[in-house]
């Protein structure tokens, strides 16, 4: 017996049945089978052909899968292997020698009837999931039909405000200036600053001072400037006044009439992109029914467009009054002229 050799072909174990469903489903199936074997579960009569097999048994070794309930035996399975020399023990059935090769014991006759429509019961045993309502599309802000034209309107407004910058949003960055000059140098032919007035976008006076020129005054030009000798007694020296004025003008849009004369008296050059000269604005001349390329006086434009008289009498001009009139005239064509400058920006 010690020399007894067993020549058994263990092969590969058959694949285990994979129960479908989740853990709760598997637990339900196991419990139901247990109750059926114990006889505690009532069996419903149902035709065997109508009973769906949820877990078909795996085919035995040497057999082909079932087709319409019948299991075909492959021809190779019919051939029995030759008995090995070693005694009757070697001829034992492999299923008996290897328990795991033996398929699960079939249920009793009539167990097919016991397999009721488990599909419905399984579905009833499964946890009921609430059907989620279809997600409604995210409601964005309701678009107004008029918004289709918004890009055009925004483009137009952008062009209007491009050069003016803060003219409409922050009027504090736009000022108007007017200067009065006296004659210095040979025969008083040199114009020197004697008074400077700066007003805000709304016409408020930001600066108004008499300025003492660095040179001797030859001609006060009182008829036009309104400057007299007594005004120079406590006047601000030119260098001090100039530094004060330039601090106010820095970074601002400066409006003036024939403003190049004022900058020349200040010995200063302002960026052209921030300069608005009402004596060279064609839309303003058109409104006043004057030639577009003509240089119209401030007095004439104010009379025609503002219906107001300035620079009258023999007492001379008022630089504050002239600066306020200049700002009011510019406001009449501000939108149109700023749009023009946005499309044709001036070169500094």
pLDDT of amino acid 336: 94
Is residue 345's pLDDT more than 60? Answer: yes
pLDDT of amino acid 27: 86
Mean pLDDT of 120-128: 56
Dihedral sign from CA coordinates of 330, 332, 337, 338: positive
Is residue 35's pLDDT more than 60? Answer: yes
Give yes or no for a contact between 58 and 18, defined as CB atoms under 8 angstroms apart.
no
Instruction: Give a yes or no: residue 285 inside a domain.
Output: yes
Range of the domain at 266: 172-343
pLDDT of amino acid 88: 44
* pLDDT tens-digit map of 136-153: 444 444 545 445 454 455
Instruction: Give a yes or no: residue 327 inside a domain.
Output: yes
pLDDT of amino acid 85: 45
Give yes or no for a contact between 227 and 212, defined as CB atoms under 8 angstroms apart.
no
Instruction: Give a yes or no: residue 278 inside a domain.
Output: yes
Mean pLDDT of 3-32: 63
Give yes or no for a contact between 148 and 78, defined as CB atoms under 8 angstroms apart.
no
Instruction: Give a yes or no: residue 204 inside a domain.
Output: yes
Measuring CA to CA, which residue among 167, 164, 154, 166 is closest to residue 345? 164
Mean pLDDT of 125-139: 53
Mean pLDDT of 18-39: 78
pLDDT of amino acid 39: 78
For 267: left if phi > 0, alpha if psi spans -120 to 50, otherwise beta; the answer is left
pTM of the model: 0.54
* pLDDT tens-digit map of 247-274: 999 999 999 999 999 999 999 999 999 9
* pLDDT tens-digit map of 161-173: 454 444 454 577 8
Instruction: Say which residue, 124 or 101, is predicted with more confidence.
Output: 124
pLDDT of amino acid 126: 57
Task: Give the separation between CA 275 and CA 258, rounded to whole angstroms.
Answer: 11
Distances (CA, A) of 126 to 26, 34, 118, 132: 10, 19, 12, 17
* pLDDT tens-digit map of 287-341: 999 998 899 999 999 999 999 999 887 778 899 999 999 999 999 999 999 999 9
Nearest 10 degrees: Cα torsion 159, 165, 168, 172: -170
pLDDT of amino acid 132: 56
- Per-residue pLDDT band for 129 (boundaries 50, 70, 90) equals low
Instruction: Give a yes or no: residue 153 inside a domain.
Output: no
Task: Give the separation between CA 203 and CA 205, rounded to whole angstroms.
Answer: 6
> What CATH number does residue 221 fall under?
3.30.420.10
* pLDDT tens-digit map of 70-90: 444 444 444 444 444 444 444
* pLDDT tens-digit map of 181-225: 999 999 999 999 999 999 999 999 999 999 999 999 999 999 999
Task: Give the separation between CA 90 and CA 177, rounded to whole angstroms.
Answer: 124
CA diameter of the chain:
152
Residues 6 or more apart whose CB falls under 8 angstroms from that of 304 comprise: 288, 289, 290
pLDDT of amino acid 315: 79
Give me the number of domains the chain comprises. Answer: 1
Instruction: Give a yes or no: residue 296 inside a domain.
Output: yes
pLDDT of amino acid 119: 52
How crowded is residue 258: how many other Cβ atoms within 10 Å of its Cβ? 15
Give yes or no for a contact between 118 and 124, defined as CB atoms under 8 angstroms apart.
no
Instruction: Give a yes or no: residue 159 inside a domain.
Output: no
Instruction: Give a yes or no: residue 53 inside a domain.
Output: no
The string of DSSP letters for 116-134 reads: --HHHHHHHHSPPPPPPPP
The string of DSSP letters for 307-320 reads: ----S-SSS---HH
Residue located via tokens 């406590």:
234
The string of DSSP letters for 202-223 reads: TS-EEEEEEEE-SS-EEE--HH
- Using CB atoms within 10 Å of the CB of residue 212, give its burial: 0 to 12 exposed, 13 to 18 middle, 19+ buried: buried
């Amino acid at each position: 017996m010690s020399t007894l050799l067993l020549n058994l072909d263990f092969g590969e174990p058959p694949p285990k049945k994979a129960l479908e469903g989740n853990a709760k489903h598997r637990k339900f199936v196991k419990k139901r089978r247990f109750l059926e074997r114990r006889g505690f579960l009532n069996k419903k009569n149902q035709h065997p052909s109508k009973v769906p097999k949820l877990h078909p048994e795996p085919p035995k070794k040497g057999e082909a899968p079932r087709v319409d309930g019948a299991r075909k035996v492959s021809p190779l399975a019919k051939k029995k292997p030759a008995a090995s020399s070693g005694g009757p023990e070697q001829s034992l059935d492999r299923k008996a020698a290897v328990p795991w090769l033996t398929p699960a014991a079939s249920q009793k006759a009539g167990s097919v009837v016991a397999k009721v429509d488990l599909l419905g019961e399984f579905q009833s045993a499964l946890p009921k999931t609430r059907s989620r309502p279809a997600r409604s599309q995210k409601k964005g802000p309701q678009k107004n039909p008029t918004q289709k034209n918004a890009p055009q309107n925004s483009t137009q407004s952008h062009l209007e405000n491009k050069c003016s910058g803060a003219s409409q949003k922050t009027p504090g960055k736009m000022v108007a200036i007017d200067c009065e000059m006296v004659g210095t140098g040979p025969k008083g032919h040199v114009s020197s600053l004697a008074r400077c007035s700066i007003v805000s976008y709304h016409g408020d006076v930001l600066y108004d001072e008499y300025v003492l020129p660095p040179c001797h005054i030859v001609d006060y030009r009182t008829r036009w400037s309104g400057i007299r000798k007594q005004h120079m007694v406590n006047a601000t020296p030119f260098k001090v006044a100039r530094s004060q004025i330039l601090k106010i003008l820095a970074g601002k849009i400066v409006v003036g009439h024939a403003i190049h004369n004022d900058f020349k008296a200040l010995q200063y050059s302002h960026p052209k992109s921030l300069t608005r000269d009402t004596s060279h604005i064609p839309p303003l001349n058109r409104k006043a029914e004057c030639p577009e390329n003509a240089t119209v006086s401030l007095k004439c434009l104010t009379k025609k467009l503002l219906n107001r008289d300035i620079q009258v009498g023999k007492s001379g001009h008022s630089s504050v009054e002239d600066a306020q009139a200049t700002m009011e005239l510019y406001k009449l064509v501000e939108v149109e002229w700023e749009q023009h400058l946005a499309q044709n920006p001036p070169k500094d």
